[in-house]
């Protein structure tokens, strides 16, 4: 089931806390991975947020990794 997420927009982006709050309302578990724009030396800050059971969050990440790996294989 997909739910509409209402997010307040800020001039330079979205409020991460509002995103997490809305995800938490409608889901047993969520995983949110974000990254910053690359710096001059190419480094990015990556942040992982999740809510819910740790095992379920791990299962979601494993499932997502499989999806991406299948898409890469199809592209070859």
Domain ranges of the chain: 9-75
Which of helix, strand or coil describes residue 71? helix
How confident is the model at residue 12, as a pLDDT? 44
How confident is the model at residue 51, as a pLDDT? 93
Give the whole-angstrom CA distance, residue 51 versus residue 72: 28
Q: Identify which has the larger pLDDT, 4 or 63.
A: 63
How confident is the model at residue 42, as a pLDDT? 93
Q: What pTM was estimated for this model as a whole?
A: 0.68
> CB under 8 Å to 13, separation ≥6 — which residues?
none
- Please choose, from the candidates 34, 24, 30, the residue with its C-alpha nearest in 3D space to the C-alpha of residue 58: 30
Write out pLDDT tens, residues 11-36. 445 678 888 888 888 899 999 998 88
Judged on CB neighbours under 10 Å (0-12, 13-18, 19+), 74 is exposed
């Amino acid at each position: 089931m997909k739910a509409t997420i209402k997010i307040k927009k800020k001039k330079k982006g979205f409020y991460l806390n509002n995103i997490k709050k809305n995800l938490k309302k409608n889901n047993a578990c969520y995983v949110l991975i974000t990254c910053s724009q690359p710096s001059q030396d190419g480094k990015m800050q990556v942040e992982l947020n999740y809510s819910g059971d740790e095992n379920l969050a791990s299962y979601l990440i494993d499932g997502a990794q499989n999806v991406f790996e299948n898409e890469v294989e199809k592209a070859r």
